Chain A
Amino acid sequence: EAGVAQSPRYKIIEKRQSVAFWCNPISGHATLYWYQQILGQGPKLLIQFQNNGVVDDSQLPKDRFSAERLKGVDSTLKIQPAKLEDSAVYLCASTLTIGDTQYFGPGTRLTVL
């Protein structure tokens, strides 16, 4: 069974630029999560989707971050414009349904200069 796929693995941008990350969850998994992991900290949930609907985006900085999961499968997370403090690893995870064990992708490491 293929795992959660993410791309790119690494991204370096300058502040005020835009960036997008892509996630392909495990086949058949209805629930998808985006986390932000800042160096030295644990992952923090940014947004949770159930199929193509948002369940929880209470910690998403909506002035600069956006995410979508239009067909209930793949998802993209966008930052526009990026700030220095957005430097982090962005992790995607999926579950068969809400409450199941979360399976994590390898993450995208973003560096904002």
Chain B
Amino acid sequence: AQSVTQLGSHVSVSEGALVLLRCNYSSSVPPYLFWYVQYPNQGLQLLLKYTTGATLVKGINGFEAEFKKSETSFHLTKPSAHMSDAAEYFCAVSDGKNYGGSQGNLIFGKGTKLSVKP
């Protein structure tokens, strides 16, 4: 069965510092992997996704993630944190169900709340 583990429910960084949010997955099929961001009182917004091809994926707002099959990881990074990055971040994996070849439904991790200190 597919599952996602996000290490660290809270991460705090200083403005301008590196952001690293960790995600490990378990999947019985080649995974599709996603990172979503949720700002307070808002819905989730897709940051980036990995389906096939290049393992380093670039997303919006300067974020990127690297798919490492050997480590079953999909960590999210940003070289320099900005105050506006403060939010909750969710890693997700597709559930492996085949809907006509598509990615299936999403299984989310518990989320990591990112705080950015001035």
Contact = CB atoms under 8 A, between A and B. Distances in A.
Q: A and B from one assembly?
A: yes
B36 to A, nearest CB: 8
Interface bracket on B: 20 to 34
Contacts of B9: 40
Interface of B, helix, strand, loop or mixed by DSSP: loop
Interface residues of A, number: 24
A106 B105 CA distance: 19
A24 interface: no
A40 B110 contact: yes
Given A42-B92, A42-B110, A99 B43 contact: no
A19 to B, nearest CB: 19
11 contacts: A4-B43, A40-B111, A42-B109, A42-B111, A43-B44, A45-B105, A56-B97, A91-B43, A99-B104, A101-B49, A104-B44
